[in-house]
Every structure is written in C-alpha cells, then in structure tokens.
Structure 1
Amino acid sequence: MGVRGPWAHVIGILVLSLLSILIAWVYHALFRKINTVWAGLWFGLALWVVIFFALHPLVPGVGSFRQLDWNTNITILCLFLIYGLFVGYSISYEHLQEELEKQRN
C-alpha cells in the first residue's frame, strides 16, 4: 500500500525533481560542449527509448508502447523531445557563458 492524498503528490514532485537533476548531470557530463538543437532532441529520444523499452518492467502501472494508442505514444515522445531540448539548451547555454567568462578574465 502506497502513500495517498496530498503527500503522494509532494513525494512524486520531489522524485521527479531529483530525477531531472540526475538527467541534467548526465547531459552535462556527456554533451555540454555540443551547441546544437539536435543533441538535445537526440537526448530526449534516448530518454524516451530507455524509459519505455528498457525500464518499462520497473513501472508496471504504465502501459507498454504496444498497449498505448498512437496519440498517446506520439504525445509522450514529443514531450520527451521538448524536455531533451530544454535540458540541452540550458546546459549548453550555461557552458557557453562559462567559456565566455573564462575568456574575459
């Protein structure tokens, strides 16, 4: 039996926040120097593949790729692409700003 009520939402938000920080660290370690849109999009696609195909057995409450309809799959894929783009641009921008600051000093 899991946590219910408003605390379930709070715990869910905290877990997603921590996972997002971990994902940003992974992107920072691997792709921070790549300053293109494509790196973030590919990263978002890779996250979608990992979550829906590799980690799916760990999340039994969510239907598999084949069980969900096309609208759901395409919507979730687009959200992951946008998320990867956001993470990619945020990290690349910060890295570029740090490099410019080093050049000024």
Structure 2
Amino acid sequence: MRRVNHRKNQHDEISLIPKTISIGIFGGLIWATVAAVAGYFSFTKVTPKSFVLRSWLQTKWSDQWLGEVISICIISLLSIGLALLYYVVLKKFPGILPGIMTGIVLWFIIFWLFEPIFTNIPPFYELDSDTVVTTVCLFILYSVFIGYSISFAYQQHRGENN
C-alpha cells in the first residue's frame, strides 16, 4: 500500500509540471508584451529587446519591432525556468506576497547583479524614475502572475487528491 501511495505522489507531482511550464510560457509572453507596450508609450526606456538582444547585437533589425518580438519569445522560453524554480521552492505558499517578494528579488538580480552583462541598460543610478517604477511594477506583476497561478494550481490539485 505504501509503495502504491509513493507512486501516486510521484505521478501527482509530474502531472503539475506541464501546467507549470504553460504558466511560465504565458507569463513571459504576457508580461514581456506589456513591457514592450510600456516602452512604446515611453513609460520605460528598458524593454525586452534592451535585455535580450540589444546588449549583444547592435544591428538595425534588433532595434525594430522584429527584435522586440524575438525578445518576447526568448523571454517566454526563459520564463519556463523561473516557473519551474518557483514550483520547486514556493508552490506551497498561497497568496500574492511570495510573488511580490519574488518580483522584487528578480528585479534586483537583473538590475543590480546582472547589470555588467546587459551593456545596453544604463546603471541603476542613471535610470529615470519612470523606468524604475515601471520595471519594478512589471517584475512584481509578472512574478505574482507566475506565483499565484502555480500555488493555486498546486492547492487545487492537492485538494482534488485528498
């Protein structure tokens, strides 16, 4: 009986992985698109192409709409990793607070720790207040979307199995 229960728990964990992957893809797609739109309307000077392409490619096409679309797709794929990491570490914590904290930590990692990698992004102290506020809010919204969706799916799945 115990061995059967162990297999059932493994199967339950595996069945949430595809949902977590889709949450990561759609979270990256939605919020990177919102960031691109925010950049288009000059709420921020930092857009997805600023991180993904423009820091390494200084070509004409990477600064246009094609560069933004490719960057949004790459961010959607990278978002799978964050969603899986969130699933492993924080899935049992319901509510939006873990997502808010994750968004703030993620913003600090990108804008402080990885600042030397992203040569196209100005240092934090050179960013205008609109860019800082907009990007912090976007990172928080993105992380809350990922975190709340994953913890909700986990709690719902756990409730179905009990």
- TM-score class normalised by the smaller sequence: 0.7 to 0.9
- What residue ranges of structure 1 are gaps of 5+ in the alignment? none
Aligned to 1:53: 112
CA-based RMSD: 1.7
TM-score by length of 2: 0.58
Q: Which residue among 151, 155, 160 is the counterpart of 1:92?
A: 151
Distance 1:97 1:69, change over 3 A: same
Aligned to 1:78: 137
After superposition, where does 1:1-105 map in structure 2 within 5 Å?
2=59, 4=61, 7-103=66-162
TM-score by length of 1: 0.87
Counting matched residue pairs gives: 103
Tell me the secondary structure at the aligned position of residue 56 of structure 1: coil
Distance 1:7 1:76, change over 3 A: closer
> Taking CA–CA contacts closer than 8 Å with sequence separation of 6 or more, which of the two structures ends up with the larger relative contact order?
1
Larger Rg: 2
* Cα deviation code 1:29-88 (max 9, x no counterpart): 110000022101000001001000011111111111111011211111111111111111
- What residue ranges of structure 2 are gaps of 5+ in the alignment? 1-57
